[in-house]
Amino acid sequence: MPKDAKGNKLTWKEYGIRWKQGVQQMTPYQQLQVQYRSTWIMIFGIVAGIIICCFSIKNLWWLMIILIGALGNTAVTQVGIYQRKKIFKNIMEENNELIK
């Protein structure tokens, strides 16, 4: 049974409602942070898949082609997320300096 920050038990429905509200309240920068971390996990999984395919290349050559394409696509996506994250961070820092 899930619990809130105070330790009170929540029903699964209440937990789902709170989770949904939390996701909806994420800032664009927080979304980029989650995407950035998750993409690293995907890259790790794709590379692991490529390494495993190397041991059985005769049977899994077709999977190797798919994984290499996915690695290229995911790597380019990761670069784009990193660039957006960097821009957002710079904007937030400039805004904080203006507020002071």
18 within some domain: no
7 within some domain: no
User: What burial class does residue 56 get, using C-beta atoms within 10 Å of its C-beta: 0-12 exposed, 13-18 middle, 19+ buried?
Assistant: exposed
20 within some domain: no
pLDDT at 35: 95
Dist CA 64 CA 95 (whole Å): 46
Residue 100 pLDDT class (50, 70, 90 cuts): low
Model confidence pLDDT, tens digit, residues 37-71: 999 999 999 999 999 999 999 999 999 999 999 99
CA nearest neighbour of 40 among 68, 65, 73, 75: 75
15 within some domain: no
Domain that holds residue 67: 39-94
Model confidence pLDDT, tens digit, residues 7-37: 888 889 988 998 899 889 998 889 999 999 9
5 within some domain: no
49 within some domain: yes
